[in-house]
Chain A
Amino acid sequence: MLREITLGQYYPVDSVIHKMDPRTKLFATVIYILSIFCFRGPIGFVAITAGLIAVIYLSKVPFSFMVRGLKAIVFILVFAGILNLFMTPGRELISIWKFTVTYEGAKSASLMLFRMIYLIIGTSVMTLTTTPNQLTDGLETALKPFAKIKVPVHEIAMMMSIALRFIPILVEETDKIMKAQMARGADFESGGIIKKVKSMVPLLVPLFVSAFRRANDLALAMEARCYHGGEGRTKMIPLHYEHRDKVAYVVVIVYIVLIFILRKFA
């Protein structure tokens, strides 16, 4: 179950999207996220969907792979959906026993689900087509102006890239410890909320211990390879824009204008 999390996984194929400069992809992703929060009307929805499908197609990453990221948050989706569905006051749509579904509730629930799902898929496109190192390189360069006001941009970027590398390892580790404790009769499923929280202790303590041990080891290994912060560091893959990036920027700008116009007329 835990292995299903695709966050931070890179899918190595050769595509236009893969080759693009990470800054271009970051910019496009930010615009995309903004667009799913401020679009209006069904035509706007169609435009966003079309854009997303086009990018997924170009990325050559199987669609099933992107959707897998959703599985991990199905619970949250359902929970938030139900909450929205029943808790929003307004005109009555249907009423079942004590619960009333309002017209507004149905609308806000479906809008919320759409946003969450599109958010996950959209950001998956980004992480699946960009190696974590490129991603953090992109972030580091994009955030460089903030370094002037003493924001530790390089350190943040490095931490992110390490976090991304270790997420799958820690996920696997969680799985292993969980199994080991289950073999000792631990029960992670039954019981009330307090019992459940308590039953997590045998899982969480070893997990933290292991995370600290790994962090310690990794720090040593980095030091041994002469790591000493961002100063004087060169880049294996220096970032520079190619022709395709310029095209991509033009496409993104057209997209912004389109969403804006559709918003006006919706």
Chain B
Amino acid sequence: MSLILDNVSYVYSQGNAYEKKALDGINLKIEDGEFIGIIGHTGSGKSTLIQHLNGLLKATDGKIYFDGEDIYDKDYELRDLRMQVGMVFQYPEHQLFDETVFKDVCFGPRNQGLPEKDVQLRGYEALKNVGLNEKYFDVSPFELSGGQKRRAAIAGVIAMKPRVLILDEPTAGLDPRGKDEILDMIAANHQRYGNTVILVSHSMEDVAKYVDRIIVMDDGKIKYDDEPREVFKYYKELEKIGLAAPQVTYLMNDLRENGYPVSTDVTTVDEAKSAILKLFKIQT
């Protein structure tokens, strides 16, 4: 039960002046139930990579296996794959279209060909899971506030119960609280259903706080692929490719350089807190 990318490459506009290698020999194995963060600056290939995972883009070279099946096999139904690997694009609220929030969320399950009762159950459950108040179910999605629209749009993908959920910058443009609420909701759903979650983000702080494994993309290649504390040890190398470590990681390094015996192996505020408290011998 996994997604495997075997030497996947993708070239844009092959054969003309705008030709660009967006992915270059990607090898990757994603197991069931992982919570993965993908980071990389704009143009590093991370958007191209995730669009391969559900077959929206077809690799110019290499193979992708989902549950051991080659998704480029001519008998393989890509639509089925898309039901299993759900994708929440950037600013997903831009895809809302139906008369009511509830109908919109049911669009995905209905396309899956489920019986009407199940479609509605799925829609209801998904809206509940994203924490949208029931009074909004029957209003037009265009009347919701920004944060609510975002939730409704995410519910539209969650309702399909994908085994792998990919989110491309799900918090872009939200205020700090809105951002935390969305990420907490995603983490809670991951806990509840044990599905695989792949989070593409620009915020190192968010990635460090939520994910178990980070994939760093640079120039169409995977630069690092490890747990957060390991990846952020390379903060100097990360800076060279336009990324950074969380602020607290820098702080701990600063403190260390100034002679404080603290661990630099720190990626979240909580970890930093206990590391410094240890210094003062205060137990939490």
**A residues lining the B interface (CB < 8 Å):** 62, 64, 173, 176-177, 179-187, 201-202, 205-206, 209-210
Contacts and interface: CB of A to CB of B under 8 A. Distances in A.
B97 A184 contact: no
Given A177-B95, A185-B79, A206-B97, 12 more contacts: A177-B94, A179-B56, A182-B56, A182-B82, A183-B56, A184-B157, A184-B160, A185-B112, A201-B97, A205-B97, A206-B96, A210-B94
18 contacts: A173-B94, A179-B56, A180-B92, A183-B157, A184-B95, A184-B107, A184-B156, A185-B108, A185-B111, A185-B160, A187-B79, A187-B111, A202-B97, A202-B107, A206-B94, A206-B97, A209-B97, A210-B94
B113 to A, nearest CB: 9
Contacts of B17: 62
Given A180-B89, A180-B92, A185 B83 contact: yes
Nearest to B89: A180
A173 B95 CA distance: 10
Contacts of B157: 183-184
A186 B111 contact: yes
B124 interface: no
Contact of B16 (A64, A201, A206, A210): A64
A206 B95 contact: yes
The 6 lowest CB-CB distance pairs between A and B, nearest first, are A185-B111, A205-B97, A183-B87, A184-B108, A180-B95, A180-B89
Interface string B156-177: 1100100000000000000000
Contacts of B98: 202, 205
A185 B85 CA distance: 11
A183 B95 CA distance: 11
Contacts of B95: 177, 180-181, 184, 202, 206
Contacts of B107: 184-186, 202
B61 to A, nearest CB: 21
B89 A176 contact: yes
**A-side interface mostly:** helix
A209 B160 contact: no
Interface in B1-24: 16-17
B129 interface: no
Contacts of B142: 209
A209 B140 CA distance: 13
B147 interface: no
A145 B95 CA distance: 45
Nearest to A213: B94
Q: Which residue among A180, A182, A186, A201 has the maximum number of chain B CB atoms within 10 Å of its CB?
A: A180
Contacts of B112: 185
Contacts of A181: 95
A176 B86 CA distance: 15
Contacts of A179: 51, 56, 89
Interface in B100-139: 107-108, 111-112
A62 B82 CA distance: 39
B185 to A, nearest CB: 19
A183 B89 contact: yes
B56 A184 contact: no
Nearest to A190: B79
Contacts of A184: 82, 95, 107-108, 111, 156-157, 160
A176 B87 CA distance: 12
A69 to B, nearest CB: 14
A36 B110 CA distance: 51
B264 interface: no
A173 B96 CA distance: 14
Nearest to A208: B97
A44 B95 CA distance: 51
